[in-house]
Chain A
């Protein structure tokens, strides 16, 4: 089986079969990262560009390592500004890069839909590395890989996603991805952080964290970006009081529940330090699996098959 997409823009566009294909491929690539010589020649001669308009450590590094472990040439472009007026337009930058004949460009941008704009205009593949509040498909795929490895399956699991749902592309991608794979998803956060009509995407909604966590198999916490969305809640202190995942709240979940977080974590804000470092936490395994998932996508978009 092959991917039938030129681009990976969101979980919304992927079928369950394609998600399985990506996860299965990622499984087979995981082993590469455990070798002494962490490199295979699969993508030798391919060029991968990381075009990042937003600060990022883990996603950019993860893509770069994934490309290098497949022997592709990886180039990083970090543009801190996404200013409308300053400098070159996004389209001009993208067309300029296209003229250098890359095979895959990964785009992260603060504006929702920016990777879609580019994907329409260029020949090469585009991977969405996170766009605005819209989607972050590779994060969702690595979350699913992590869950599948721990739980054996995704089907029938009860998942709580907790935090600023409205401004979280991770939440959006996981809502699409996890519901597609048969999970029951509840989103939870202060009401101003719950976007309108989210229930129409097939999720349950709660503003009561204890209710949201109770009997869940997976508790997925989101990073609170208080520097960005101050208007949504009065203070970090108040947020932490009602929505921080601490010992008491986690005990309401199933005893073998997994604690997940896309990182970077705000210790003490959305997750208590002992929980982040606790036995149920799979936060660092998510990071490890991120490389395998990204290797799988680079491979499949380059025409590889299972």
Chain B
């Protein structure tokens, strides 16, 4: 079966494309892009979609999600997480390793991939642990994990504080052509903290996590990348100092890449005034100055990727005293809408947004996707840029509701998510 997407503005920076064009999907692949394509000359039936007023982009890729399965199925399963991803416009997601058991051996990697195949909604790329049990002591079996289907390594949730181990991880991963993703946080400076350190933490009487907790860790990882000449990817950048460190490193030619999450440019620590645990996240929401720096980093290319850091938690973890509450917020279904605001505010062009949410994640993870070139898998997101909608956490496909954006009015939404030519989400 063929599908013809008609009349949309097609934006694909991977081939310098931006125009009102038609796109033909054949056998799950991108067939052709052109003006006023005809699909019906041959005997094969063509399903036509009028997408006038919509934007068609390479399928969005979220390189930082937590699917919680195995171990925490009451928060999220691979199936519900994939459904949330499709609803949010993502055709592929990378799943972090801090499940229970952790994804530190091939049986867990294979389990995740099997569950993803059974769900058959979006593509799932497992990120395996750097160290056994995420304990920061012994490396996992990188080669075996790669064979099982892992695409990257990360102890996300924890920094690999042992610099020697992190060096080995960069070196060993590179020998398999695999990236390492670092959750940057000095555990000593963070100890016991539950929000950003500053006037707000002082007022609320909560232990603070200073922004330098992140920056110091970022600077060490940059030093390791510079020394070894091997790539490192910095997860969820939140602090001005980190942005500056990455900017300088990139200028000096260090192979560092970085991501941030929508909450770091959409929220600040000021939202914590009422001890609402929906705003508790790690790294913590920072000051307005940090949020501005994150936007600046996105605008000038210092930050390559917007990733959701989708972190589902149930009321069991969240409806408790602030200090005891779990960190994290769901993001798959709000990521695009929040990021579209950057386009409206002229911080990013639509093309740059596509780079940050599709092309760059594919490049960093070295996975297919991020393009609408002929012959590529037909992973496509259809965006309605002018659609105003209200976030309703109770309508999320995700099993969890821990969103600080519940009730927010957003502009711009994924209307259709196509994976391998199949429509996985349709709101047209």
What is the interface of chain A, defined by CB distance below 8 A to chain B? 12, 82, 84, 89-91, 109, 111-114, 116-117, 120, 131-135, 166, 169, 172, 195-198, 200-201
Partner of A200 from B199, B210, B319 at Cβ < 8 Å: B199
Partner of B205 from A89, A133, A196 at Cβ < 8 Å: A133
User: By the criterion CB–CB under 8 Å, are B204 and A112 in contact?
Assistant: yes
Q: Bits for B195-215, please: 1 = Cβ < 8 Å to A, else 0.
A: 001110111111110100000
A276 to B326, CA, bound (A): 43
23 contacts between A and B (CB under 8 A): A12-B203, A82-B321, A89-B319, A89-B320, A90-B321, A91-B320, A109-B321, A111-B322, A111-B324, A113-B323, A114-B321, A117-B321, A120-B274, A132-B323, A133-B205, A133-B206, A134-B204, A169-B205, A172-B203, A196-B199, A196-B208, A196-B210, A197-B199
| B389 interface residue (CB < 8 Å to A) | no
User: By the criterion CB–CB under 8 Å, are A112 and B322 in contact?
Assistant: yes
A198 to B321, CA, bound (A): 24
A204 to chain B, nearest CB (A): 15
User: By the criterion CB–CB under 8 Å, are B202 and A198 in contact?
Assistant: yes
A134 to B319, CA, bound (A): 19
Partner of B320 from A84, A131, A172, A195 at Cβ < 8 Å: A84
Residues of B180-203 whose CB lies within 8 A of A: 197-199, 201-203
A132 to B198, CA, bound (A): 17
- Residues in B whose Cβ lies below 8 Å from that of A90: 320-321
Partner of A113 from B199, B207, B275, B319 at Cβ < 8 Å: B275
User: By the criterion CB–CB under 8 Å, are A111 and B199 in contact?
Assistant: no
A153 to chain B, nearest CB (A): 27
A116 to B276, CA, bound (A): 10
Known: A89-B320, A134-B204. 4 other contacts (CB 8 A): A91-B319, A111-B321, A111-B324, A117-B321
What is the interface of chain B, defined by CB distance below 8 A to chain A? 197-199, 201-208, 210, 274-275, 319-324
User: By the criterion CB–CB under 8 Å, are A196 and B202 in contact?
Assistant: yes
A55 to chain B, nearest CB (A): 18
- Residues in A whose Cβ lies below 8 Å from that of B202: 166, 195-198, 200-201
User: By the criterion CB–CB under 8 Å, are A84 and B324 in contact?
Assistant: yes
- Residues in A whose Cβ lies below 8 Å from that of B210: 196
Q: Lowest 8 A-B CB distances belong to which pairs?
A: A134-B205, A113-B275, A111-B321, A133-B205, A197-B199, A112-B205, A195-B202, A84-B324
Partner of A197 from B198, B205, B321 at Cβ < 8 Å: B198
User: By the criterion CB–CB under 8 Å, are B275 and A116 in contact?
Assistant: yes
A214 to chain B, nearest CB (A): 25
**Least CB separation from B198: chain A residue:** A197
A60 to chain B, nearest CB (A): 20
**Least CB separation from B277: chain A residue:** A117
- Residues in B whose Cβ lies below 8 Å from that of A12: 203
User: By the criterion CB–CB under 8 Å, are B203 and A201 in contact?
Assistant: yes
**Least CB separation from B196: chain A residue:** A196
Known: A112-B275, A197-B198, A200-B199. A132 touches B205 (CB 8 A): yes
A82 to B199, CA, bound (A): 27
- Residues in A whose Cβ lies below 8 Å from that of B197: 196
User: By the criterion CB–CB under 8 Å, are A196 and B198 in contact?
Assistant: yes
User: By the criterion CB–CB under 8 Å, are B201 and A196 in contact?
Assistant: yes
- Residues in B whose Cβ lies below 8 Å from that of A195: 201-202, 208
- Residues in A whose Cβ lies below 8 Å from that of B207: 133
A97 to B40, CA, bound (A): 71
A111 to B325, CA, bound (A): 11
Q: Which among B208, B210, B274, B320 has the greatest number of chain A C-beta atoms within 10 A?
A: B320
